């Protein structure tokens, strides 16, 4: 197959090529590298515990005070 030069493309063909390239690049950047992998049981349990409503939370102000940080 003979190679085509960019200068041989019309403006619309060039735009379509750029659009397709950008779409493919964005799709590659946002794909999940862990897709299809299974979580280990201990990781599942850690996630369950972290999402539990019994998990104690602190406000940023309290955490800052605990660390001796002062807000201005």
Residue 42 lies in a domain: no
Residue 16 lies in a domain: yes
Are the C-beta atoms of 14 and 6 separated by less than 8 Å? Answer: yes
Supply the range of the domain harboring residue 12: 8-32
Residue 15 lies in a domain: yes
Are the C-beta atoms of 71 and 64 separated by less than 8 Å? Answer: yes
- 1 pLDDT more than 80: no
Write the CA distances from 28 to 2, 22, 25, 60, integer angstroms: 28, 10, 5, 36
Residue 22 lies in a domain: yes
Query: Tens digit of pLDDT for each residue in 16-61?
Result: 999 999 999 999 999 998 889 999 999 999 999 888 877 677 888 8
The number of folded domains in the chain is 1
């Amino acid at each position: 197959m003979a190679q085509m030069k960019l200068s041989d493309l019309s403006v619309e063909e060039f735009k379509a090529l750029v659009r397709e390239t950008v779409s493919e690049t964005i799709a590659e950047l946002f794909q999940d590298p862990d897709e299809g992998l299974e979580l280990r049981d201990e990781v599942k349990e850690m996630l369950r515990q972290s999402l539990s409503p019994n998990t104690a939370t602190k406000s940023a102000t309290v955490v800052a005070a605990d660390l001796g940080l002062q807000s201005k």
